[in-house]
Chains A and B, each alone.
Chain A
Amino acid sequence: MIFSSLLLLASLLLIAFSPKSSFFGVLDRAHPTHPEWSLIVDTTTNAFHSWSWDPLLVLLLGDTGVAGSWLLPLVHLGVFTIGTIFVLRHSFDSSWLRACIDAALSSVIVVALFGLHPVILGTLTWLPWCVLCCRPSWLLKQNSHLRPAIALFFILRLVRTAHQLSPLALGFTFLFAFSQSSKDTRHRSQVVFLSLFSVVAFALSLYQSFEVPLPPLPDYPIYSQVVPDDGVPGRVSPLLTSYAPLQLIDRSLVRYSLSLFALLGLLLSCLSYLFTNTAGVKRYARISTVLFIILYFDTYAAESWSIISPIQTVRRLLPGTFFLSLSPFILCASLLFLWWTLLRNRLLLKAFFFLLLWLINPFDHHSVAITAGKTLTPPLSIPEDSLERTWAVSPSYALYRQNGRKAITRARTTQLHFHKLGNLKPTLLASNHNAPKALHRMVDGRGKTRWSEHTGKQSGNEWVQISLPEPIVVEALDLNVGKFTSDFPRGIRITSWPTPCTTREPETAQIVVEKEKWLGTVGFSEKGFPYYKPQHQVIAVFSQPTKTQCLLLEQTGTANFDWSIARLRLARIFHQTSSRGE
């Protein structure tokens, strides 16, 4: 108990001094048509949907903000912690003090991983209470008609707080509650009652799922995208429920962030399952293992396999969940189960678990930024009720995260004017296919002719060098692929030197464009929402206007297509007086 108390203290201190840029994990704004709902965008997964806190708690506390206010999330966390105390006391026959410390540690895990994320907290808040009240042994006690009513009250609370995720949360509730009691002793009428009770509960949750208003999607043009393509041919969309016409969830980031965690969690769960003898704990370990397997399948397998994983399938089937990423929720549930299996284990495992949590926290925004490998200027401090807040709290958030707020603002306020590079009489050199005739095809101004290595693939080591007769200020390059629309670079780096290429020095080199993964040129919808244009439009905007005489264009990605350049153009920037979309 002393160790647990110390662990709790250390964790609280770590949370207090953590370098998190946002403790809510989401950015919110008011729903334009449903005042009781907020629109939120998940700063990690880019999920964009409607959400609200528990209306009962909102009524009691008089607070409505989804992210920003501390009171409501802390009350939700408190409700969850108290419920967990009861669950742990019931499950492990712990003393009150021990149950309190363990429950607090459970909450710490949630906060350490997800901060005060409204979706996670909202889904968890009433879950332990429902588990307590839906246990058949409690629910079916004779001569107590009040108990089903109480259980129904908590289910209603769960449904009104977990919204789209309520069918899933209810599934966990029943799985958890029913697995704790023996089925054989039940009378037929009790089975019928339990079945009816479950059906009513699920009907309520489905009803609530349909009640959640759909998020108003921006006016993106056709073929636009906001996150990297998942690589699966076509667009995966649900057969029955509502969906967006473009991919919203940044699957590559979710997979990158969670796969290692899923693997380690799975190993730890398996170990707990193998080395635990207590039946109750073994049950938790089994659930945790299954959940980690599901998570592992979702994050580690190739995306073409992941789309048939249970998480993705449930996401397609449950109403409203297609706008969310279920992986964090599954991770949260599996970690809690894993933690509960470790409660009665040796101190070393507990310490290892917490260490793991702090070391490779997949949802820490700092690490997300590192994994994304991009500038970290997310629009977290944009004033509410501003137009930019509307643009940022949308699926376009991913662009802000990937490019930085500054770059988006710059792109919005500037207009590019292109000039043929051929007019400047440049000297061209390439990694391969260096015949003058071939190189000339880059600057002949025709979209039908192209320079490429003609290897039929991109290996990541192709380059083209442009040497200009005299230094000029360049602000962007158009590496137009003409009619060869599959031959855009998968990754691109442009380095500039102010001197001729023959005399270039490493010291004077300046990387003006670096896109590890080329997603497309940033465009803006009529209402001002940023999006990526189709990837074959390769306009590389420099981080700043640069005086250059030598440019080295490097293709850094890999693909089974050539890298082609049909028309090379330089761009100058004309600064607009008003930004687009305003």
Chain B
Amino acid sequence: MPQSLQISYLRKHLKRRWKSNLAWTAIVFSLLILLSGGGTLWVKGGFSFLSTSRIVPVLILACGLIGILASHVHSLFPLQLSIRTAPIAPFLFGVIALFCLDWLTRPYNLIQGPNIRGEIVLFALLSWIALSRKLSWALPFAVLFSLALLAALLLHTTGDGLLFSDDNATFLYRFALLKEHFPRIPFYGPLWNAGIEVRDFFATGALNVFFLFSPLFALLEVESAYNIVVTALLFGVLPLSLYTAASIEGLGAKGRWFAALLAPATSLLWYRWALQYGTLGFVTSATLLPLNTALIIKFLHPTRTITRWEAVLAVASITLMLLWSLSGIALLPLVLGGLVYAKRYFRKKYAFLIFVALFLLNLPWIVIFWQASQVSSFLHSEKKAEVSQSLLTTNTTQTKKAEEKKERITYKHKAGGVDLKKTLSLLREYSTSHQPLLWLLFLPGVFRLRRGSRGFYLLLAGWLLFLGAFLPPVKPQLELDRMLIFLGIVACIPAARTLERSIGHFSKASFFFRVGTVLALGFAFAGIVSSGAVLRKRTLVPFTVTDKDFGGLPQALTQHYPGGRILFTGFMLHDFMGGHIAPMAHFIKLPLIASSPVHNMWKYQQVFPKEFLSRGDEGIEEYLNLYNVGLVLAHEKRWKDKLLQNDNFHEVWRSRKFILFERTSFPDTYFLKGKGEVLQQTARSVTLRMDSSSAVISFHYLPFLKSSQCTLSPYSITDEINFVRLDNCAAGSTVTLEGEGASKRFFGGVL
């Protein structure tokens, strides 16, 4: 080629690249404006840098898109486009811009400024040294050190205590029950509220954690294993899942390490769900999502084969993920992809085996879950919320009823339709609390994944974004905003790819590209430090850790137990060491009553039903006698004052929060009619001796309850309360009440 032509070609190429970079920079800035809602330089109230006008990001976006099209059109007729990749440089420029904006000083940030900029700069400088000296060992060492540090910090924070805030307590209880009773679930649990159906293992995803860490649970007490499980999940399984997923996606060694590095610092909300709320089922599913995504995409690829270990891994991992049932919705685009490419898939070795194994492993529990947890009614419960709200506003005569309804079906998000304003606000909230690299470097990373993977990742990201940002008000009961956390975790793979490529070009790149690269690495490591701050309880994620003796309450209850049941007055939510009261039954093995042992109520709910409460002291006394309550625990001031003034209650113990009262007289029998004695109450059964042929006992009747010899039927006390009536019993015989087995209950004994 003549020199003049070469120069002309080079000029043309450079011009096109320049145009493309400019256009992508416009896209990045429109994204920044959209997600930040206008920004000022460095600190809030500084020089206004990004416009707050709504039309500006749209205009920039449009210009950017036109620019991209213009820079990639080879011929107008017939139209030939070549947008194969998004250049990295504009996105790294976005990282620099983000560093200079007030973004880092906004509240609820994972990487909370302003002084975190120092850490970012320091890590960027160290990265620069490592990259320019080509210290290849530095990255794996830094990642392993970071993960070990975070794990050590969490274990140091928990010390001898137990992670207990919110649902951590409930999960602890569920694991204890599972360790004792699996696979005989669900069952009738008489230790709580005079008999309830213990079925939450399916809906909450407790099973996936239990299966994943079953060796640990088998070896150790649940209390000893719990902190280790959470630590291993957050800083072992998640990085490993992302590392493996990155490996399957074909990322190089550095890319895999970057994926593992980004894993523990995806967002502040991740730690809120994991540590503060303790929703371990969701956390486990989220942990396995990138691995399953990578595996499924590989299985649907036209040329890539399935290895034996991948088949085993896929069956185990997908099953574990699906055990938190909502995760199935997240995988929908991949399932649809599977349907489209079914022919291609089933041509592969192990494909059929995987399909069958997944089907057989998951169908039984899905059937049990669907029936036991009344999924279909739960899925439509938001309609009741809408109805009740409309009743509240239109019909004054029905206000009271509507209020009652509303109490039952209020969720975190208000029920309603798709609202763009809410969506944008949700997106801003989530993007602030996320590691910014995940959404800034996602797009160039996706374009640099395997050709077969790009579409799936874009589709999955779009779907999760739609679910998490648009649908929460439509189905508030599902708390779909969590899908944005899923998205953050999935985004680690493309972001890691971008980082891998950036450092690959580091030595030959321009100064600004290098600055952007090391700053991005600074952000990644600052994310680790920020996660450490969460674990040290120095952020807005206030998780609680209990001491060994749980404030002395279990010992006090055991010590002063006079027989009968123990009742918690008022509304027990997070009043027991910041967590739910559920595990108390496991700690003391005594029958208890509370408004609810778990978090299934979103509004104050008194333990005494209204029909009893409305009758004052007399009604309360009647209720306590009905349920054979011997000890009463008060934590709310009004109940403490009330019981202290009542001669029927005698204070026997008090702590900073609770006062324990013993009733001066109570029936001390569970038999309301007939004669007999309750010999034993365990987590899943009641054993009693019958001294008469029929009796009514103060245990709730549930349709799946069975007895070893008597005939069972409901005995109505009020509209809401049905006790167990036993007939046709042999006098003097010992009777055991327990729930039907799942096989008989759901499959007619076939399984």
Residue from A183, A236, A239, A317 whose CB has the most chain B CB atoms within 10 Å: A239
- A307 CA / B113 CA spacing, docked (Å): 11
- Tell me if A240 is interfacial: C-beta within 8 Å of chain B: yes
Proximity bits, A306-319, B CB within 8 Å = 1, else 0? 01111011101100
Query: In the complex the two chains form, is A317's CB within 8 Å of B122's CB?
Result: yes
Query: In the complex the two chains form, is A239's CB within 8 Å of B121's CB?
Result: no
From residue 140 to 173 of chain A, which have CB atoms closer than 8 A to chain B? Answer: none
From residue 520 to 557 of chain B, which have CB atoms closer than 8 A to chain A? Answer: 529-530, 532-533, 536, 538
Query: In the complex the two chains form, is A314's CB within 8 Å of B114's CB?
Result: no
Known contacts A239-B538, A240-B153, A310-B125; is-contact A317 B117 (Cβ 8 Å): no
- A237 CA / B115 CA spacing, docked (Å): 9
**Chain B residue at minimum C-beta to C-beta distance from A192:** B137
- Tell me if B141 is interfacial: C-beta within 8 Å of chain A: yes
Proximity bits, B137-165, A CB within 8 Å = 1, else 0? 10001000000000001000000000000
Q: What residues on B are CB-neighbors of A183 within 8 Å?
A: 133
Closest 10 pairs between A and B when the two form their complex, measured CB to CB: A308-B118, A313-B118, A239-B533, A308-B117, A313-B122, A240-B532, A307-B115, A236-B115, A239-B529, A195-B137
Q: What residues on A are CB-neighbors of B536 within 8 Å?
A: 239-240
CB distance from B722 to the nearest CB of A (A): 54
From the candidates B43, B118, B125, name the one contacting A307 in the complex (CB within 8 A). Answer: B118
From residue 113 to 131 of chain B, which have CB atoms closer than 8 A to chain A? Answer: 114-119, 121-122, 125
Give 20 CB contacts A-B under 8 Å. Answer: A183-B133, A195-B141, A237-B538, A239-B529, A239-B536, A240-B529, A240-B532, A304-B114, A307-B115, A308-B115, A308-B117, A308-B118, A310-B118, A310-B122, A312-B115, A313-B115, A313-B119, A313-B122, A316-B119, A317-B119
From the candidates A239, A307, A308, A313, name the one contacting B532 in the complex (CB within 8 A). Answer: A239
Q: What residues on A are CB-neighbors of B538 within 8 Å?
A: 237, 239
Q: What residues on B are CB-neighbors of A309 within 8 Å?
A: 118
- Tell me if A199 is interfacial: C-beta within 8 Å of chain B: yes
Query: In the complex the two chains form, is B141's CB within 8 Å of A199's CB?
Result: yes
- A199 CA / B140 CA spacing, docked (Å): 13
Query: In the complex the two chains form, is A313's CB within 8 Å of B121's CB?
Result: yes
Query: In the complex the two chains form, is B118's CB within 8 Å of A239's CB?
Result: no
CB distance from B163 to the nearest CB of A (A): 19
- A195 CA / B116 CA spacing, docked (Å): 29
Main secondary structure of the interface of B (DSSP, over half): helix
- A309 CA / B125 CA spacing, docked (Å): 12
Q: What residues on B are CB-neighbors of A308 within 8 Å?
A: 114-115, 117-118, 121
Q: What residues on B are CB-neighbors of A314 within 8 Å?
A: 122
- A181 CA / B449 CA spacing, docked (Å): 41
Q: What residues on B are CB-neighbors of A316 within 8 Å?
A: 115, 118-119
- A310 CA / B533 CA spacing, docked (Å): 19
- A240 CA / B116 CA spacing, docked (Å): 12
CB distance from B333 to the nearest CB of A (A): 37
CB distance from A327 to the nearest CB of B (A): 15
Interface size class of A (residues with CB under 8 A): 10 to 19
**Chain A residue at minimum C-beta to C-beta distance from B532:** A240
CB distance from B108 to the nearest CB of A (A): 15
Q: What residues on A are CB-neighbors of B43 within 8 Å?
A: 304
Q: What residues on A are CB-neighbors of B116 within 8 Å?
A: 239
Proximity bits, B21-42, A CB within 8 Å = 1, else 0? 0000000000000000000000
From residue 475 to 493 of chain A, which have CB atoms closer than 8 A to chain B? Answer: none
- A183 CA / B134 CA spacing, docked (Å): 11
CB distance from B72 to the nearest CB of A (A): 40
CB distance from B136 to the nearest CB of A (A): 9
Q: A237-B538, A240-B153 are in contact. List 4 more A-B contacts (CB 8 A).
A: A239-B529, A239-B536, A316-B118, A317-B119
From residue 201 to 260 of chain A, which have CB atoms closer than 8 A to chain B? Answer: 236-237, 239-240
Proximity bits, B97-118, A CB within 8 Å = 1, else 0? 0000000000000000011111
**Chain B residue at minimum C-beta to C-beta distance from A304:** B114
CB distance from B626 to the nearest CB of A (A): 49
From residue 243 to 295 of chain A, which have CB atoms closer than 8 A to chain B? Answer: none
Query: In the complex the two chains form, is B529's CB within 8 Å of A312's CB?
Result: no
Residue from B117, B118, B529 whose CB has the most chain A CB atoms within 10 Å: B118
- A183 CA / B119 CA spacing, docked (Å): 29
CB distance from A322 to the nearest CB of B (A): 12
**Chain A residue at minimum C-beta to C-beta distance from B535:** A240
Residue from A240, A304, A307, A317 whose CB has the most chain B CB atoms within 10 Å: A240
CB distance from A461 to the nearest CB of B (A): 29
Residue from B122, B141, B153, B533 whose CB has the most chain A CB atoms within 10 Å: B122
- A240 CA / B529 CA spacing, docked (Å): 7
From residue 450 to 507 of chain A, which have CB atoms closer than 8 A to chain B? Answer: none
CB distance from B189 to the nearest CB of A (A): 42
Known contacts A199-B141, A240-B153; is-contact A312 B533 (Cβ 8 Å): no
- A239 CA / B535 CA spacing, docked (Å): 10
- A239 CA / B117 CA spacing, docked (Å): 13
- A195 CA / B136 CA spacing, docked (Å): 11
Q: What residues on A are CB-neighbors of B122 within 8 Å?
A: 310, 313-314, 317
Q: What residues on B are CB-neighbors of A192 within 8 Å?
A: 137
- A314 CA / B125 CA spacing, docked (Å): 12
Q: What residues on A are CB-neighbors of B133 within 8 Å?
A: 183
From residue 489 to 534 of chain B, which have CB atoms closer than 8 A to chain A? Answer: 529-530, 532-533
CB distance from A321 to the nearest CB of B (A): 13
Proximity bits, B327-366, A CB within 8 Å = 1, else 0? 0000000000000000000000000000000000000000
**Chain A residue at minimum C-beta to C-beta distance from B113:** A308
CB distance from B251 to the nearest CB of A (A): 24
Query: In the complex the two chains form, is A312's CB within 8 Å of B532's CB?
Result: no
Known contacts A240-B529, A240-B536; is-contact A312 B118 (Cβ 8 Å): yes
- A105 CA / B63 CA spacing, docked (Å): 66
Q: What residues on A are CB-neighbors of B125 within 8 Å?
A: 310
- A313 CA / B125 CA spacing, docked (Å): 12
CB distance from A58 to the nearest CB of B (A): 30
CB distance from A286 to the nearest CB of B (A): 14
Q: What residues on A are CB-neighbors of B530 within 8 Å?
A: 239
CB distance from A204 to the nearest CB of B (A): 15
Query: In the complex the two chains form, is B114's CB within 8 Å of A317's CB?
Result: no
CB distance from A136 to the nearest CB of B (A): 14
Residue from A199, A313, A316 whose CB has the most chain B CB atoms within 10 Å: A313
Q: What residues on B are CB-neighbors of A240 within 8 Å?
A: 153, 529, 532-533, 536
From residue 407 to 442 of chain B, which have CB atoms closer than 8 A to chain A? Answer: none
- A316 CA / B122 CA spacing, docked (Å): 11
**Chain B residue at minimum C-beta to C-beta distance from A314:** B122
- A317 CA / B137 CA spacing, docked (Å): 22
- A199 CA / B142 CA spacing, docked (Å): 11
Residue from A183, A237, A304, A308 whose CB has the most chain B CB atoms within 10 Å: A308
**Chain B residue at minimum C-beta to C-beta distance from A191:** B137
**Chain B residue at minimum C-beta to C-beta distance from A308:** B118
- A536 CA / B125 CA spacing, docked (Å): 42
- A309 CA / B117 CA spacing, docked (Å): 9
CB distance from A251 to the nearest CB of B (A): 13
Q: What residues on B are CB-neighbors of A236 within 8 Å?
A: 115
**Chain A residue at minimum C-beta to C-beta distance from B125:** A310
Q: What residues on A are CB-neighbors of B121 within 8 Å?
A: 308, 310, 313
From residue 293 to 347 of chain A, which have CB atoms closer than 8 A to chain B? Answer: 304, 307-310, 312-314, 316-317
- A459 CA / B627 CA spacing, docked (Å): 74
Q: What residues on B are CB-neighbors of A310 within 8 Å?
A: 118, 121-122, 125
- A237 CA / B529 CA spacing, docked (Å): 13
Proximity bits, A167-195, B CB within 8 Å = 1, else 0? 00000000000000001000000001001
- A314 CA / B119 CA spacing, docked (Å): 8
Q: What residues on B are CB-neighbors of A313 within 8 Å?
A: 115, 118-119, 121-122
- A314 CA / B126 CA spacing, docked (Å): 12
Proximity bits, B654-689, A CB within 8 Å = 1, else 0? 000000000000000000000000000000000000
CB distance from A189 to the nearest CB of B (A): 13
- A313 CA / B116 CA spacing, docked (Å): 8
Query: In the complex the two chains form, is A317's CB within 8 Å of B529's CB?
Result: yes
Q: What residues on A are CB-neighbors of B533 within 8 Å?
A: 239-240
